[in-house]
Amino acid sequence: MAEIASFFEKFDVMKQGDIVVLSGSIPPSIGSDFYDQIIAKCEAMDVAFAIDTTGDSLLNTLRRGPFLIKPNHHELAELFGVTFSGIEDIIFYGKKCLELGAKHVIVSMAGDGALLFVEDKVYRSNTPIGAVNNSVGAGDSMIGGFIGTYTKNQDVLEAFKVAVATGSATAFSTDLATCEAIQKLIPEVEITEI
């Protein structure tokens, strides 16, 4: 396919320190190995990648060492074919994702905040107060907030805080969040180590 070849030609501008985000399900017309092709290109160029997908696509990617994955708690349970009875179960399987190769794991839990797994630590955030208008794009916004902040200062906790504010600001908006809405919520986000 000419479009795929053109897509991969654009990868030549990537450099070490960049992060490629893979998000969503793969259209059948592209082929089920498309993410694998992108990840192989990232590996060859020493470029990190984040992935936000579900099921086998996500599970098979963990061994490739993604910089970040961001399932919600329902997707995490589905990933391992289990049902969660409490936060302890979510923590167990979040740590499992690290063991399988992910560098950072954010598990969003809607009104119950989010969890960040990094190295041997687990952090929990609250959820800022606001009325949910539209949750479409909130997860993508979390990823953007995390990566955008992390690439500036390599502070994983600040990146997590901004991610939660960004995802919440999008959920509280009728469209994607504005910078003003995000900045307003950042002070409301509290991070605690579990």
How many Cβ atoms are within 10 Å of 6's Cβ, its own excluded?
Answer: 9
Name the active-site residue from 12, 33, 112, 140. 140
Ramachandran quadrant class, 163 (left: phi over 0; alpha: psi -120 to 50; beta: rest):
alpha
- Neighbouring-strand partners of residue 29: none
135 contacts 172 by C-beta, under 8 angstroms: no
Lookup: tokens for 185: 């919520």
C-alpha to C-alpha distance for 146 and 109, rounded to whole angstroms? 16
C-alpha to C-alpha distance for 135 and 37, rounded to whole angstroms? 30
For CA atoms 138, 146, 144, 28, give the dihedral sign. Answer: negative
**Residue 89 among the catalytic residues:** no
User: Would you state the torsion angle of the CA atoms of residues 6, 102, 115, 152, taken in this order, to the nearest 10 degrees?
Assistant: -60
For 34, the enclosing helix (H) or strand (E) is helix 34-45
At residue 19, the 3 state secondary structure works out as strand
Q: Which residues are annotated as catalytic?
A: 140
